[in-house]
Homo-oligomer: A and B are copies of this chain.
Amino acid sequence: MASSTPLRALSIDNINPHVKTAKYAVRGELAVRSEKYRAQLAKGDKGGLPFDTVIAANIGNPQQLDQKPITFFRQVASILENPELLEKENVLTGSLGYKPDVVERAKKLLKDVKSVGAYSQSQGAPGIRDSVAKFIERRDGYPADPSNIYLSAGASSGVNTLLHIICSKPESGILIPIPQYPLYTATLAVLDARCVPYYLDEGHSWGTDLSAIRNAYDKAIAEGTDVKAIVIINPGNPTGASLPAEDIKSVLEFAAEKKLVVIADEVYQTNVFVGEFLSFKKGLRDLQKAIPEKFDNIELVSLHSVSKGMVGECGHRGGYFELVGFDPEVAAEIYKFISIQLCPPVIGQCIVEMMVNPPKEGEPSYELYKAEYDGIFEGLKKRAYALYEAFGQMEGVHCQTPAGSMYLFPTITIPAKAIEQAKKEGRQPDEFYCFRMLDATGVCVVAGSGFGQKEGTLHFRTTFLAPGTDWVGRIVKFHKEFMDEFRD
């Protein structure tokens, strides 16, 4: 065999170039190194590491960080997995302390899905889609149709579906907020479609800035991009923002003007500390009531998930999206597309049902549910503010007031010498900073460059899920030492 003949069929030079282009920093090199440290420590081998624990503040994964699952959800799920427990109802409600509404809910869900081991309809079990539609009606005060609800394996899978349908050619473009959750740019890269970035307004609590959106749109059109949709992440990831009603209204107006599909990523809708969550669906219905001729033909899709909120059931891969105003022929193609992968995980579908239809006041499991839910909410809020205050003490660090989601996204200003050193090591300056932080503290965060940021600015994203405050102290100490090391 000549030495120039490749040994294998596949090499980095001949696989799908669009997959290669995709970037997904949330689980990138930093995360991989942090897992290596974690494995090393688990073996009892400190091997010179200056910390005893690894803190995964890079990813919103509450139950990996000791958040307890909500009891009602898991009691029901245990019966769904083993329906023979229903034949021992007296044991459940006696020795095991399952409340009657747990048993009742399990029976209802088993009626909906027959078995959690059976495929459901591609779009999700009809009974569960009914529950989702009722939840949306209660939330927004406007009707929702179960036939427009599509259950999915987490919101990520829903986004993947929608971008596959919308992007029809290399010139197809989607307006994406920057900073953004990199699922969007990664999926667009795989699809060989264009990301049309619009910058969020850090000075105004990371809100949407209509003039920035308009400029991004105009620039893209001038470059020959066929702009088809606009993505909004509200509450924000990585920004932690919670959009006011005016921002939502102005985005909808712009979408109506330019005929854009609105993709509202609303997975953090219950993680709101400031003001109240307003859904894009409600915003749209309000506008349609007021000025139907202008807004009646908008296409909106809203995504939700069991991974976030106080539910935090990431590992169950449950979520849904609702289509509003879509052409039935397009919806049929969406249905076919999701059919190829058969159906979303059925136990995840059941968790979606419980998320949207939790125990109600007066029901036996309500009190515990409420206490657990509120406890998680308050814990997150408290930790968000503690972290925010710590950032306030750090030289060159500035952070918006916590408002929602599970993240803070502070700006950092680091000395020129540090930027020089980063260059030498072939890294972005913020990435360099984050690697230094991980190596010094065991705390894993994600560099702002993984989400996008304005030229010349540097950030990092951290969750505020990790319990305790020790790790916050580690960051403060590291930052001081880092600044001292590189100070001009």
A84: B residues at CB distance < 8 A: 71, 74
Q: Would A78 and B88 be within 8 Å (CB), given that A339-B24, A346-B316 are in contact? A: no
> Which of B19, B63, B122, B340 makes the CB contact (< 8 A) with A333?
B19
Q: Mark A13-47, 1 if CB is under 8 A from B, else 0.
A: 01111011010101110000001000000000000
CA distance A28 to B183 in the complex (A): 30
Q: Please state if A187 and B8 are interface contacts (CB–CB under 8 Å).
A: no
Q: Please state if B315 and A120 are interface contacts (CB–CB under 8 Å).
A: yes
Q: Find residues 226-280 in chain A having any chain B CB closer than 8 Å to their own CB.
A: 228-229, 259-261
| A309 interface residue per 8 A CB criterion | no
Q: Which 3 A-B pairs have the closest CB atoms?
A: A315-B346, A78-B82, A77-B81
A271 to chain B, nearest CB (A): 16
CA distance A105 to B14 in the complex (A): 43
CA distance A82 to B78 in the complex (A): 6
| A443 interface residue per 8 A CB criterion | no
A357: B residues at CB distance < 8 A: none
Q: Find residues 101-127 in chain A having any chain B CB closer than 8 Å to their own CB.
A: 113-122
> Which of B19, B64, B80, B345 makes the CB contact (< 8 A) with A337?
B19
Give A59's nearest chain B residue, CB to CB. Answer: B119
Q: Please state if B340 and A24 are interface contacts (CB–CB under 8 Å).
A: yes
| A69 interface residue per 8 A CB criterion | yes
A22: B residues at CB distance < 8 A: 336-337, 340
A31 to chain B, nearest CB (A): 9
CA distance A119 to B308 in the complex (A): 12
> Which of B9, B63, B118, B341 makes the CB contact (< 8 A) with A229?
B9
Q: Mark A138-169, 1 if CB is under 8 A from B, else 0.
A: 00000000000000011011001000111110
A229: B residues at CB distance < 8 A: 9
Give A64's nearest chain B residue, CB to CB. Answer: B118
Most buried by B among A26, A190, A330: A330
Q: Please state if B69 and A15 are interface contacts (CB–CB under 8 Å).
A: no
> Which of B83, B164, B260, B330 makes the CB contact (< 8 A) with A11?
B330
| A314 interface residue per 8 A CB criterion | yes
A177 to chain B, nearest CB (A): 18
| A326 interface residue per 8 A CB criterion | yes
| A371 interface residue per 8 A CB criterion | no
Most buried by B among A27, A81, A84, A186: A81
CA distance A313 to B28 in the complex (A): 32
A2: B residues at CB distance < 8 A: none
| A79 interface residue per 8 A CB criterion | yes
